[in-house]
Each structure stands twice: as structure tokens, then as C-alpha cells.
Copies of this chain bind each other. A is one copy, B any other.
Amino acid sequence: MAAPDKVTDLTSAVATHVRDGMTVALEGFGHLIPFAAGHEIIRQGRRDLTFCRMTPDLLADQMIAAGCVSKLVASFFASGSAGSLREVRRRVESADPAPLEVEEYSHYGMVCRYQAGAAGLPFFPLRSYAGSDLPKLNPLIRKVSDPYGGPDIYVVPPLRPDVTILHAQRADRSGNVQMWGIVGAQQEAAYAAETVIVTVEEIVEEDVVRSDPNRTVLPAHAVTAVIECPGGAHPSYTQGHYDRDNAFYREWTPISRDREAVLDWLEEWVHRVPDRAAYLDKLGAERWAGLGVAPRPSQPVDFGRRVAQEAS
């Protein structure tokens, strides 16, 4: 049985699947953030995107500054050690240089939206928001009554991105994707989408994936395109491959304060860089080596192989 080969390059994947005005989710909760894909979207000059991401951080600041985004759907507008996102703040606080529409939830609210989208449900209930101003701010947060006589409960609507883009450790050529470490709500964000693009640290042989089927977070049927893109999550990290570039996050804070500095940075690190390989070259071997991790392998588990049994 020859499964279709879904391996392509990032330029073609973005050119083919990401179009102006689309709703695009780039997920990864502090881990496996698809920066390389985000930069490719900036490079190709996409406009008017509705950008979905639970924790818009540097990547959101960059894509918004680049003018790709007209609306943000999110639940936390800051970036741990990098502090607040000045580009986001400029637009929200003073429409500078342009206003930014924001549709706001809590973390679990976003997770539930992805779950509803992934499961084809009209809504998903959660025990948050009673007494909160969030439903007043966001009329899409609504209530349903409990047919079993309990109190009303708040629900959120499904989130169904046109495209969801993720980064993972590995996949086979047919698109079976495996990830480990923090997996966030990536499985839900992918199943919720019409099209799913996944960049991976490495394309592996089918038997690597099939040696551990429980490790597969996205089966091939849920994946549209797979791209081998080592270092694709920098400055965030990939468990077992490279660590988070904390210095980079700290360096962003002063850049983010000044819009011109942000644009200069984008010119230097995105527009003048053809792809992720060139970006890593520019970053330099020494800095990259400084993000390396020592091996800490999982202990294998046994899936077993049938020994012929009497079919008595």
C-alpha cells in the first residue's frame, strides 16, 4: 500500500496553502513554535490574516509588525521573559500604525474552541467565565442550559482554521507526525483545520514511526504537507534537539519597543534571508551550538510481534 508522499518545501507549502484573508493558526505552547513557517508567511507578504494562537508572543509581534495580520484570536498577550508585546500594544492602545482587531478567550476557552473544531461540534462547554467580563467583551462566549437540571454553563464556538501550521520532531514521508515533550493543543488545532502544514526537525523512515504508533500525534490523514526544516522552532525550542534561545527573547524586548527597530530586524532576519537554513547560518554555528542539549533517551517499550498461534 503506497501512501502519497506529502514532503514538500516551506516556500511551496505556504504559497500553495496560505492565502490573503485566511484564518491561520500557528500553535505550540512555548515549545515547537513554528517560527520558520511564520517567517515564510512574512516573506511572501500575506495580508489580512486572522491569526489564531493561544499565546501570541515574538512570532505574533513579528507577523503583526510585518502587516500580515488584521485580527488576532488569542488568550494571553505576552511572552514570558520577553515581557509584553509592544507591537501588539501599540496597535491596541493607540492604533499605531493601524488598529488590530482582537478576539479574546482564556487558555482553556481556546483549547475548547479547538476541541469543538476538531470534533465537528457546534460548541464546547467549560466551567469558566461565570461573573467574568470576558463574555461582555466577547459575545461569542455564550451560555447553554443544562438539560439535567444543573446551572447554566458557558460554551465557546468551534475554531476552524483554514490552515493550521505546526512544528514537530519528526514525521514520515506520508505525513504521520510524532512529537514529544509539551504537546499543548496541537492535535486539536490540526484536526480543527481544513489544511495542516507541519515542519519537522527530520523526515524519518516509515519504520521509525511505526515502531511506536502511540507516539503519533497526527496520523497521515490529518496532514496536508510535511516539510523537513531543522531548527524551525528557533528561538523557541524542540525537546531533545535544541534548547530555547532565552537571550534572543530578552533581546527582543528593546527591539519591540521601537517599531523602526522591529522593521529593521524583519528586513535583516526575514526578508534578506531566503530560508531557515540561511537563517541558522546567519545565527552562527557558535550560538547554535550553545543551544545544544545532551542526550537523554527514553527507555524503549516493547510492542511485541505475534508468534503463530493455533486458530483452534
Contact = CB atoms under 8 A, between A and B. Distances in A.
Interface stretch (A40-48, A51-59, A96-104, A303-311): A303-311
Copies of this protein in the complex: 2
Contacts of A299: 208, 211-212, 300
A132 interface: no
A244 B312 CA distance: 13
A142 interface: yes
Contacts of A312: 247, 250
A180 B181 CA distance: 17
Interface string A109-137: 00000000000111111110000000000
Contact of A310 (B208, B247, B304, B305): B247
Contacts of A178: 301
B301 A169 contact: yes
A178 B300 CA distance: 12
A211 B153 contact: no
A161 interface: no
Contacts of A286: none
Nearest to A125: B121
Contacts of A282: none
Interface string A274-301: 0000000000000000111111111111
Contacts of A293: 302, 304-307
22 contacts: A120-B127, A121-B125, A121-B127, A121-B153, A123-B148, A142-B147, A180-B212, A180-B301, A181-B303, A211-B299, A239-B303, A243-B309, A247-B309, A250-B312, A293-B302, A293-B304, A293-B306, A297-B300, A297-B302, A298-B300, A298-B302, A299-B300
